[in-house]
Structure 1
Amino acid sequence: MIPIQLILKNFLSYRDATLDFRGLHTACICGSNGAGKSSLLEAITWAIWGESRAAAEDDVIHTGSKEVRVDFTFQSNQQKYRVIRTRVRSGTSVLEFQIETPNGFRPLTGKGVRATQDLILEHIKLDYDTFINSAYLRQGRADEFMLKRPTERKEILAELLKLNQYDDLEERAKESSRQFKARVEELERSLESIKIQLQQRETTQAQKVELEAELNQLQQVQAFETIQLQSLQVVQHQRQTKVEQLNFVRQQYQNLTQDCDRLQQEQLAVKNQIAELEKILSQEAEIKAGYQQYQTLQSQEEAFANKFAEFTRAQQNRQQKQQQLTKQINEIERQLQQAQAQLEALQQQEREIQQTLTKSGEVEAGLAQLTAARQRVAHFDQLQMQVSPLLQQRATLQSQIDRFHAGLVARLEQLVTTENQLQRQQHRQPQLQQAVMDVAIQIEELEKKRVYLQRVQEKGQERRHFIERLQAHQRDYEKLLGELEQKLQMLQTPNALCPLCERPLDEHHWDRVVSKTEEELKDTQGQFWVVREQMAVSDREIQVLRQEYRDIYQQLASYDTLREQRGQLAAQLEATSDVQQQLQQIAAEKQHLERSLQLGDYAPDKQAELQQLDQYLQKLNYNEQDHALARSEVERWRWAEIKQGQIKDAIKRQTQLAARKPELEATIAQLQTRIQQEQVNSECAQQIAALDRYITELGYSPEQHNQLRLAVKQNQAWHLRYQQMLSAQQQYPQLLTRSQELAAAKTARLAERQTLASQIDSISEQLEETANPTAQIQTLEQQLQIRRRQLDEQIAKLGRLEQLAVQLESLQIQYEQQQQQLQATKQQQRVYQELAQAFGKNGIQALMIENVLPQLEAETNQLLSRLSANQLHVQFITQKAGRNGKSTKKNVKLIDTLDILIADARGTRSYETYSGGEAFRINFAIRLALAKLLAQRAGAALQLLIVDEGFGTQDAEGCDRLIAAINAIASDFACILTVTHMPHLKEAFQARIEVDKNQEGSHVRILT
């Protein structure tokens, strides 16, 4: 990434600032502390990745402003891009991404900030972490890698290479392996269960054949009997039709007979009604006189009814007052009863208290037993306080011994697993050796192509330099041609002067000057076209070289993979070389562990301490059962303590009752007096006496009223007879007409009944001639029902057998499928076990570090040779010999490390023995090599280098060394920016970016 232009608006300390990086190769960003130098770099990281030193997102906005905007234009992979990031305070962010085209910048912005950010990372192939660890050399980080211990350097390198993702992959592989292992166990149990069930397939098939034969025979018998039943049912159906027809005719005959009887009865009834009406009409005068007397008696009864209403209201009022008086007296009587009940309760309590006081002697004896029992419990409690921590300590010791035993068992299982793995590795050694040789041959061929690729690249650079020279010649020729053409134009004007001496030209001299200028123009044009032709030829050669470069580069695509594969195979082969020795060590350790587990001689100090605790506990002789019996004895005699409290309460209550009794006796006497007063002198009693006087004044006689009612009731028949007379006068003509109609209908019904009687006789004769098959049908139906039950039972049995056969067939398929699943699951388990080992610290991570270190070493030495004039050389050592116990060859082991050895003219020495200047160059070379390596792994070229405050910790000599180092590597980078606040170092760089700050904010300017 090469910066081109940076435009800031309200970013941190800047209000408005524009910084143009075009033409800057090595530049110094200088200014006082706090002026805003690092803010320029923060603006670049915030624009591209949205990352800065600000704790909150709104903190990047200038104080007092509402919006921030950073516009950053840069070049990456021969393409120019532009990123614009804005944010509103307490609002959202907006991110725009553009690419340069011949028609200007074209937007690449995605849907949302996240999508646009992903597009930016896809194009520049560099994330924020990789940038700050590669292109951005922060203060105090140059020697960080060197000052760490050798064991910590690998961790730092793994962190920079982002190898921690393999830890997650290792854990996921282990989890998947455990899941597949559980699935294997489940499938094995399921297969064993299915195998047991499949053993009954042959028995089921034989039973099925036998049942099918029996079922076929029963179906044939049932079909024959069904045909017989159907024939008999046809005959029965014909007979039932005749019976139904006979019943229908008989029903019609019966209905006609009933109609005739009904008409006869109705005719008699009509005749009787006519006779009764004629009798009523003959008594018309007598009925009218009786009806007149009835109306007179009814008027007298209404007058007595009004007096009865007044009498009833007075009686109701008297009854209400009497109920009110009774209620008041009842309330006083209720209070009297309550007082009497309380007095009786007091007397009962006095008797109970006297009975309680008689048990004082028995309670005192019980209290003595309770005191003795509590003393025994206290003794046992003291013993328990001594024994409880000892028992807890004993449980802890026993748990530690059990854990030690479990650890020995787990270690033994681990040794068995490791032994099996090592034996498998030992068998793979010949294959690994052959694979290493094959990969080495392929790498050797590719390295030859790399050398040829480098030559092609050098030739292409040579052609490009040649074209640049041709382009310079072309520009010179174009300028010369322009000047010659201008001379000819000047000579064509009248009275033209000499272009050299500016004197007037005669015709002879004019011809000579024109011809000479034309010849010079012609020669220049010829040389110009020669240059153009050489440029065209060079362009074609470059195209051919580019195509050849691409072809070879594609062939070298597998070079890194093969190197990584070679490293993996070499590591595996190296690991198999010590297998035999490891197997012997494992066998010895296994024998020792098995002996310890068999004899039980592990953790002797814990077992001795456990034995001493057991002896001391036996000496204390504490028994939990005796303790519990003592506590139960306390509970058994605790009643005496409760009874003692009851006696004290009884004495206190006896005193209270003696004071309460006279009050209740006085209250009872007062309530008895109130009852007598309410019965005579109360308001309700006086109102009842007044109502009695009013009832006497009414003079209502119930006897006279009853006699009058009886007379009205006796004469009420005249009112009914009068109504009957009026009705008879209306009904008499209608009944005469109805009598004639009934006589005609009766004659017609008798004729129809005679016709139906003839039909009944005819159908009855036909039924007597037809036989009745009901008995035979019932017999056949019973037989068919028995056959059907037998068939149902046989079909059910057959269905069950068929279902069982289908289930067994399905189980067979399931058995085969689960066998396949079991094999596949075991394979998956093995795969994930191997993946967990591969993703572990000793797998891919170690191999990647091993493969990266040669590249890092080569890059470091290349930079260091330029910084030290080929005087220093660095070597990374990843393993060294270590010993365990006695110093013997068998105990030698390889220990993982990351030692750095530096060689110079005097030999190989450790890093700590070098002087400040040499140590600084070594640190700077390693840090730059790491930066290039990280950028290369990210897929980007390291074209920008930023050194932030690299001079702040250096003395004058150190600053000079850093400047010399930067100048030595300047040709490797398109742009190098250094940040410092030291004024005397400004002149060391060809360009300066000065930053100052005032009340309006920070300002920036470029000085060259």
Structure 2
Amino acid sequence: MIPVRLQIKGFLSYYDPVDLDFTGFDMACISGSNGAGKSSLLDAITWVLFGEARRNDDAVINHRAQSPKINKPAEVIMDFDYENARYRVQRMKYKGKTTTLDFFIRAEDEGWRPLTEATLRATEERIRQTLRLDYETFINASFFLQGKADQFAQQRPADRKRILASILGLEVWEQYKDEALKRRRTRELELANVEGILAEYASELNEEQDRLAALKALQQEHETQNALAQASKQILDQQRLIADRLESDKALLEKQSIEIKRLKSELDQKLDDLRERQEEQKTFRLQIANEVQIRAGHAAWLEQQKKLTELDAQAVNFHQHESKRQAPLLKIEGERASLQAEFNALSSKEAEIASLRSRLPELQKQVEEAKQAVAADEAQLQMRAVLEKDMQDLQAEKARAKAENAVLKVEMDELADHRKELQEIHGANCPTCEKPLQETEKQHIINDLTARGTQKAEIYRKNLKFFEGVDAQYKEKETALASLQRVEADLKLQQRLFDSKSEELTRSQADIEKWQADGLKRIETLRTSLKLEDFAADARAALAEIDKELKKLGYDAAAHARARAAEEAGREYQAQLLSLEQARSALVPLEREIETLEKSVDVSEKHLQTLEKEYQSASQKLNESLAASPDLAELQRTYRDLQEQVNSLLTKVGYARNRVDVLDDVKKQQAAKEEEKQEILKQVAKLKMLEKAFGKDGIPALLIEQSLPEIEEHANEVLDRLSSGMMRLTFATQREYRDSKREDRKETLDIMISSSAEERAYELFSGGEAFRINFALRLALSRMLAHRAGARLSTLVIDEGFGSQDAEGRQRLIEAINYVRDEFSKIIVITHLEELKDAFSARIEISKESNGSQVRVVAA
């Protein structure tokens, strides 16, 4: 993994965006004052790749970016090359929110193709799988973080082995072991299944003799029940033939019953027809007996009809003359309606004028009141300009104080940050003048910063109190201005009221004057004319002439109505005369039909009596036969029950025979399953061997054993340079148990140091010697990781240790780094010492500015 570009914004001490390009150098040092942000640069790399830094969660967000007004995220973007591909990781964190993480790979079209998974954890796992190492391996081998030079050496032996296995890429053997375990468990499940099946086969074969005996018993029982069923069937068939004959007799008897009912129905119909004809005969004879009376009434009706015809002609003449009255009558009524409508309209107007006269004083009073209200509102509105000017002045004063407070807030925050930074510094240079800073001088500066902050805070609080006073005055003016707005609205209302009432007063006075001039005279004229009925004189004269002619005709409408009623009453004699003639012509054939019906009724009654006697005799015989016959349904149930038993036994026999026959197949399947079981047992044994081989005490342990000499060699090459050949490192993989009775040895990974013909454990060294051992050991691990097949990590970062060495020791460290520089694509060293800066081909300078840490790359 080779870093290409690092972009930081809002992360720890970095507020403004910082863009660091790694392509311009192979080896560089990072320099800067204490607290400038050197280690934060490395935190950005571990945070963006693994989500790990010295501080996590919201603590990684720059304190200024966290403020509610700004609320910017911590964001780090890193581009790196790995195994001939370029990747990008982007991690972002807002205060109080979940971290977002995106992973990309450079596509052929120079764009970025996303590799981001559905969740944060899944994406982090994707990054770890791509790099083939986790955070712990990264900081143990490639990153020498501040205060963690002994990260690897201080681990327990088991953890050293685990980290070494990760550096060597031995995780794949754990995957092999898991796969072998997975396959073994699958085979063991298959084995358990096969053994279960074999147990079922054995249990089934143990039942062979019982199954044969059960088959024989069922066959004998089936033969017995089948014989009983056949005998029952013969009896049932005989009884069915008898039942069929009885059913035929019953059907014939039913037909006779239907025929008797039909004949009775025909006889009833004939009797009804006979009675109906006899009633008609009686009616006809009665009509013939009243012949004289009917003919006399008919003659009187004809005379009345003649008289009515004469009156109808006289009525037509009368109505022709009477229709002439309509024209003059309509003209008279039309004239009356016109005069009455005009009179009604003038009467309404007269009432309206009377109402107007009564309202004039009140209307004049309302006009005067509205005029006075308008004048009063106009006087109040003259204060608006004064209030608006006062409010503008107050707003300007508030804006000035608010702007001053904003400046004071920034200055107070900067003073607080400066004071906090000084409080956290111990025994370092002044961040302003770069000179050594004594404790008393530091406290003096802190006190000065505190006093300046207190002074600015006092001004800030005074401005806040000033805001309260301005707000109160502004609110008072605003309330007064709002009341003037209500006055303005009232002015518009009063002006409209004044205009409306003035217009209404002028209109009312004009209406009264017009009425006095015209309307009063006209209404009196109309009242007199309607009362005397002196209008439409021509129409009234024409109507009198028509009435005189009608009187001469002498037409009596009442006599005409009586004649019409008498004619209508006599019309029934016309119908009676017609019925008389019809009765006389129909009586003879009707009497012949009655005689025929009487003879037919007599014949039908005799035939019906004969059929009823025959039906009674046949019905009695059928009932006797039915009573003597057995219960056919019971016979059917008996046969059905026997047949069901036979069928059930037949099914049981078939099932029992199948249970016997299937045992041959079971024996064959048992043999096949036994062979399958033996094969699975062989596979399980092989997989157990593979599990042990792939486990930590198998192949990985051998590979670690094989790698230790190479690590020792790399470490001793560096340690030899750092100690002038006085120190040498070895690994001990076994040691004796504390229990002296145990003859075996304990697996371990201890670090032993030979110095001055004496071998001591690593834990007995301290100070500069311990650092040289740690440095040599960590550098050896980094070289191993840089050469690891399939997961090369060609970057070395050192943020540790030069201050613990004297001048000669520091020079040897530089030589050791130069010794291995060709094995790494990038080497970055953080130093606080000016004398070491020139030892590197490039320098990354970190400075603390007002807008956060800034980065600048400088060539040596």
**Scaled by the length of structure 2, what TM-score is found?**
0.49
**Scaled by the length of structure 1, what TM-score is found?**
0.43
Structure in which a larger fraction of residues adopt helix: 1
